[in-house]
A and B are shown apart, each in its own frame.
Chain A
């Protein structure tokens, strides 16, 4: 069974608009972390935002916010005021396990294209 599911292979958004990238996860661990990474065409993985399973508030980092709905096991990424440079592949990831035995699982990704 997929532990991290990203159901949108590709998304389009108009420049300056907001866009939501979906991510659902599956784990029985009480403690876990959720991450979003951006991968431009050059290949490097860029950390965007982190949400801990015990965090009460949704994480925000500049134009990025994470809509964390624990009961629904979803961790959607919201990008506000999209820019052309946001066009990239976006991966949702989950960290399971304990410090020293962490395992990171990645979703299949969503390719975002920002239109001028």
Chain B
């Protein structure tokens, strides 16, 4: 299947700093990328949808100034958690859709963010 790579897998940062997470589709062009947040033992919560070259569409309740999403190319989307605080600690996982017949989502490995 198609491959999506997410980096970094783990990140620990101090409160008040910003953290950037990258999501790359390695062998297909991802027209749409999705960013999810997952709390322990809970489901995936969609944060935003981004299409290449346009602004991301954020879900209700997600602060767009807090979680900056950039989808600069068909193979790269980034999520920047700005001025991170301990409550932002979570598992963030990206996924990409390449317009395949099934519309299948391909997921990155996820990034576990811990804000001290």
> Which A residues are within 8 Å of any B CB, using their own CB?
33, 35, 37, 43-45, 47, 50, 52, 91, 93, 95, 99-100, 102-109
Of B31, B34, B91, B93, which one neighbours A100 at CB under 8 angstroms?
Answer: B31
Chain A binding site: helix, strand, loop or mixed by DSSP? strand
Give min CB distance, A40 to chain B, whole Å: 11
Within 8 Å by CB of B102, from A33, A45, A108, lies A33
B residues neighboring A (CB under 8 Å): 1, 31-32, 34, 42-44, 46, 49, 51, 91, 93, 95, 97, 99, 102-110, 112
Minimum distance in angstroms from A111 CB to a CB of chain B: 8
A43 touching B110 by the CB < 8 A rule?
A: yes
Main SS at interface, chain B? strand
Q: In the complex, how many residue pairs between chain A and chain B have their CB atoms under 8 Å apart?
A: 56
What's the nearest-Cβ distance from chain B to residue A66, in Å?
12
Please name all residues of chain A whose beta carbon is closer than 8 Å to the beta carbon of B43 when the two chains form the complex: 91, 106-109
Inter-chain contact B44/A106, CB cutoff 8 Å? yes
B38 to chain A, nearest CB (A): 8
CB distance from B77 to the nearest CB of A (A): 15
Cβ of A35 and Cβ of B104 under 8 Å apart?
yes
**A50 with B99: CB separation less than 8 A:** no
